């Protein structure tokens, strides 16, 4: 199944952090990737994400302003299964 790509916009990339705004049109995905850094996600919109992981699929609710963190090594494909755009800011700590 072919999906549109999520749209990343790098806002800061220095020796300490990478800050990226991610925009997901309806049905968009990141593609499979593995995180090289610990990171924090700051949801800008509400909604839900579908996470395809090696252990199986799961959903992750997004609440605007309610941040969460994940550790280095997370591997997944992130998909917007909703009918509206979903936006979050990802902050990776080097």
User: What is the CATH classification number for the domain harbouring 84?
Assistant: 2.60.120.10
Q: Is residue 89 one of the residues assigned to a domain?
A: yes
Q: Is residue 30 one of the residues assigned to a domain?
A: yes
Q: Is residue 14 one of the residues assigned to a domain?
A: yes
Dist CA 6 CA 24 (whole Å): 5
* Number of domains within the chain: 1
Q: Is residue 2 one of the residues assigned to a domain?
A: no
Domain holding 34, by residue range, is 7-93
Residues 6+ apart with CB under 8 A from 31: 5, 77
Q: Is residue 1 one of the residues assigned to a domain?
A: no
pLDDT tier, 54 (very low <50, low <70, confident <90, very high otherwise): very high
Q: Is residue 61 one of the residues assigned to a domain?
A: yes
Instruction: State how beta strands 17-24 and 86-93 pair.
Output: antiparallel
pTM: 0.94
What digits encode the pLDDT tens for the residues 14-32?
999 999 999 999 999 999 9
pLDDT tier, 2 (very low <50, low <70, confident <90, very high otherwise): confident
């Amino acid at each position: 199944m072919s999906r549109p790509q999520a749209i990343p916009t790098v806002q800061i990339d220095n020796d300490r952090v990478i800050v990226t705004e991610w925009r997901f049109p309806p049905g968009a995905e990141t593609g499979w990737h593995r995180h090289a850094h610990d990171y924090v996600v700051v949801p800008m919109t509400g909604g839900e994400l579908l996470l395809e992981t090696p252990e199986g699929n799961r959903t992750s609710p997004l609440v605007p302003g309610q941040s969460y963190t994940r550790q280095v090594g997370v591997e997944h494909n992130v998909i917007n299964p909703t009918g509206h755009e979903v936006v979050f800011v990802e902050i990776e700590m080097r």
